[in-house]
Copies of this chain bind each other. A is one copy, B any other.
Amino acid sequence: MTESTDSLADTDTAPALPDTAGARPVAPTRGALRPLGLGEVRITGGFWHRRQQVNGGPTIEHCRTWMDRLGWTSDFTDPARRGARDGRGLQFADSEVYKLLEAMSWESGRSVGGAHRWRAAVAELSEGVAAVQSPDGYVHTGYGGPGRPRYSDLGFGHELYCAGHLLQAGVAAARTGADSGLLETARRAADHVCEAFGPGGIHGVCGHPEIEPALVELARLTREQRYLDQAVRFLDRRGHRTLPEHAVDRAYFQDDVPIRGARVLRGHAVRALYLSCGAVDAAVETGDEELLEAVAAQYDRTLDRRTYITGGMGSHYAGEAFGDDFVLPADRAYSETCAGVASAMLAWRLLLATGEPRYADALERVLYNVVAASVADDGRSFFYANTLHQRVPTEPAVADRATRRFGGGPRAPWFEVSCCLPNAARLLASLGAYLATADHGGLQLHQYADAEVRTRLGDGRPVGVAVSTRYPDTGTVAVRVTEAPGGPWSLTLRVPHWAEGAVLAEPGGPRRPVAPGTAVVHRAFEEGDEVRLELPVHPRWTFPDPRIDAVRGCAAAERGPVVLCAESPDQGGGDLEDVRVDTGAELKYAGDGAEVDGRFEPPLDNGRPYTSREPAREEADTRTVRLVPYHRWARRGPSTMRVWLPRLD
């Protein structure tokens, strides 16, 4: 970890080109790379731009409509409801309103339309939150009354979790200029938390981590040391079994061993990932290298042993939890959307702290194959769990009712526990901030999209590039220098781990092969200079570690960063239960997917599932198996689907 020129004292006073230069979710005062704000990176076209446009309009509107309908917002905005302390949602419903506030704030910093559309809503909801806040700073619509006293159920009450999301919303509002009092409410809430859980206060932690990264970020924004201290206090307290034992999983709350004593992420996946985010944030601010290395090692091991090919995390429905190493069933993949969002958050923090491109690889994987998969094209329905194998076509949930079904079946408009859509919304609205970074001597591009980047290098020189690409449909990424600061600097491009055979063309210079990792061009660029990166995005086979029992004898197809899948409507009536593919045959381009030779051969029915002779199959001719991007599946009504394809060979 190298120190940047930033420090806690001047994080938000760096010169901003547009107003929202500082508008980024994570603003560490040191680390290998400096994140850029929404005013410094604008996604202007392509895959993610379409997603951002849908997110910034229909999705945010859809969330607002549902939260209004269910009374989650009016618990704040309706004066008659404010004192009730019997919130009509579950105990974490407040956090959904805060995530919506955060998404609206980022969106108002991302686009002019967003600012027009959502600032008033931010103001209205912010006023409601302030009105519910007690004089001492405590805010929760469900706790604090006589029926449910404050902090009477730290395990499942989610009070500090909700407070954490309020803090993050306040930070987003402040950094995007959308703030109309929300930051002040957040500060008062944070002061209350420090008071209630500080020295001499309650010696406990929240069952759901979230307050930890939130307190660090608020400290970064406000330069208030006590918030950072309180985050460290919560992090140090965890792992000492102050929470009750969970029925399903001893590690559910990550309260089984102290953070730095763990080897791998475990227990409830979202909890584990949010906690890790907070630990990285605190480690960076306090210079705690040991803690940073511990969390990085845990995440590395989790990526190696407990992560789906999609980047999804969490194998178990019971406890929404990580499984043991290599327990990665495709058909019961829980892979909660929120865990995908949380993994993106953690990967980003570790990328900033270490500069290691493998974290940008992890971020890309989860963005294309979990976040993009979870939300429907129209932005108005979503997956809570992201299965990798749909065996039975399942009818959609009833359109006007929040479903209780977390897995299986098409995307649903709303769930009783509807954390995922507002969570994806706040990530998508702020996605520009995850594309590029700067350091003292250059600019780094981590994700590829049509984009404009304008910032200053660490030495203060202004720099700008425009990225033009049809990625991931094609692999060519053109980076044109739009503002050249004079003198040499480095443009660093990530070469994804799968991109063997990538080629880089420097301005006017020869083409040269570049290996996975990063490709650096160091020179005194002139305006108009263009660097071209050519990534091989032809479809390829991917084979699993042999220890992943659930997909033994299978292969998956990928194309660039995009995982492909076979979905029933494309198979001409072939049953995916019976499909087998020839991984020796060529995977051919077919639109944004692929085609390959395979067979649909049902097992001959012998009336028994277990037999002493190897089961025979019906004979079948070789046929084409069609593969489409996994993120596009389930958009054509009930269907079956599989990512992992049994092999003929």
Q: A residues within 8 Å of B by Cβ?
A: 245-248, 250, 303-305, 307, 309, 316-318, 323-327, 329-332, 389, 391-392, 404-406, 416, 497-498, 500, 540-554, 556, 577-578, 603, 607-615, 617, 646
Assembly CA distance A611 to B542 (angstroms): 5
Assembly CA distance A646 to B326 (angstroms): 15
A-B contact pairs, 26 of them (CB 8 A): A248-B317, A248-B406, A304-B609, A305-B609, A309-B610, A316-B318, A317-B317, A324-B331, A327-B332, A389-B549, A500-B612, A542-B610, A542-B611, A543-B611, A543-B612, A545-B603, A545-B608, A545-B609, A545-B615, A546-B615, A547-B577, A547-B578, A547-B603, A549-B550, A549-B646, A552-B553
Residue of B nearest to A328 (CB): B609
Across-interface contacts of A556 in B (CB, < 8 A): 610
Residue of B nearest to A609 (CB): B545
Report if A548-B609 is in contact (Cβ < 8 Å); known contacts: A318-B317, A615-B543.
yes
Residue of B nearest to A644 (CB): B549
Assembly CA distance A493 to B309 (angstroms): 52
Copies in the complex: 2
CB distance A324 to B545 under 8 Å?
A: no
Option from B247, B542, B613 in Cβ contact (under 8 Å) with A612: B542
CB distance B316 to A327 under 8 Å?
A: no
Assembly CA distance A83 to B165 (angstroms): 47
Assembly CA distance A614 to B584 (angstroms): 12
Assembly CA distance A617 to B545 (angstroms): 10
Assembly CA distance A577 to B332 (angstroms): 21
CB distance A404 to B327 under 8 Å?
A: no
Assembly CA distance A326 to B541 (angstroms): 26
Assembly CA distance A498 to B610 (angstroms): 10
In the complex, which of the residues A500, A549, A607, A614 has the most CB atoms of chain B within 10 Å of its own CB atom? A549
Across-interface contacts of A327 in B (CB, < 8 A): 331-332, 391
CB distance B608 to A497 under 8 Å?
A: yes
Option from B332, B607, B609, B617 in Cβ contact (under 8 Å) with A329: B332
CB distance A543 to B498 under 8 Å?
A: no
Residue of B nearest to A613 (CB): B543
Assembly CA distance A392 to B617 (angstroms): 35
Smallest beta-carbon distance A283→chain B, Å: 24
Smallest beta-carbon distance A321→chain B, Å: 10
8 further contact pairs, Cβ within 8 A, besides A309-B609, A318-B318? A247-B404, A309-B610, A326-B391, A327-B332, A500-B612, A540-B612, A544-B609, A545-B615
Across-interface contacts of A549 in B (CB, < 8 A): 330-331, 389, 550-551, 646
Residue of B nearest to A497 (CB): B608
Assembly CA distance A617 to B500 (angstroms): 22
CB distance B250 to A405 under 8 Å?
A: yes
Smallest beta-carbon distance A54→chain B, Å: 29
Residue of B nearest to A404 (CB): B247
Residue of B nearest to A305 (CB): B609
Residue of B nearest to A325 (CB): B391
Across-interface contacts of A497 in B (CB, < 8 A): 608
CB distance A552 to B646 under 8 Å?
A: yes
Option from B305, B318, B329 in Cβ contact (under 8 Å) with A550: B329
Assembly CA distance A329 to B611 (angstroms): 18
Assembly CA distance A551 to B549 (angstroms): 7
Report if A541-B608 is in contact (Cβ < 8 Å); known contacts: A317-B317, A405-B250, A617-B546.
no
Option from B248, B544, B545, B609 in Cβ contact (under 8 Å) with A307: B609
Residue of B nearest to A321 (CB): B317
CB distance A610 to B404 under 8 Å?
A: no
Smallest beta-carbon distance A6→chain B, Å: 32
Residue of B nearest to A250 (CB): B405
CB distance B553 to A610 under 8 Å?
A: no
Assembly CA distance A614 to B647 (angstroms): 12
Assembly CA distance A323 to B408 (angstroms): 11
CB distance B330 to A608 under 8 Å?
A: no
Assembly CA distance A524 to B543 (angstroms): 66
Across-interface contacts of A547 in B (CB, < 8 A): 577-578, 603
Across-interface contacts of A548 in B (CB, < 8 A): 609
CB distance B553 to A553 under 8 Å?
A: yes
Smallest beta-carbon distance A527→chain B, Å: 39
Assembly CA distance A615 to B325 (angstroms): 17
Option from B326, B391, B545, B554 in Cβ contact (under 8 Å) with A552: B554
Assembly CA distance A307 to B608 (angstroms): 10
Across-interface contacts of A309 in B (CB, < 8 A): 609-610
Smallest beta-carbon distance A291→chain B, Å: 23
**6 tightest Cβ-Cβ pairs between the two chains A and B:** A317-B318, A553-B553, A545-B609, A552-B553, A247-B404, A318-B318
Assembly CA distance A326 to B332 (angstroms): 12
Across-interface contacts of A603 in B (CB, < 8 A): 545-547
Residue of B nearest to A545 (CB): B609
CB distance B304 to A608 under 8 Å?
A: yes
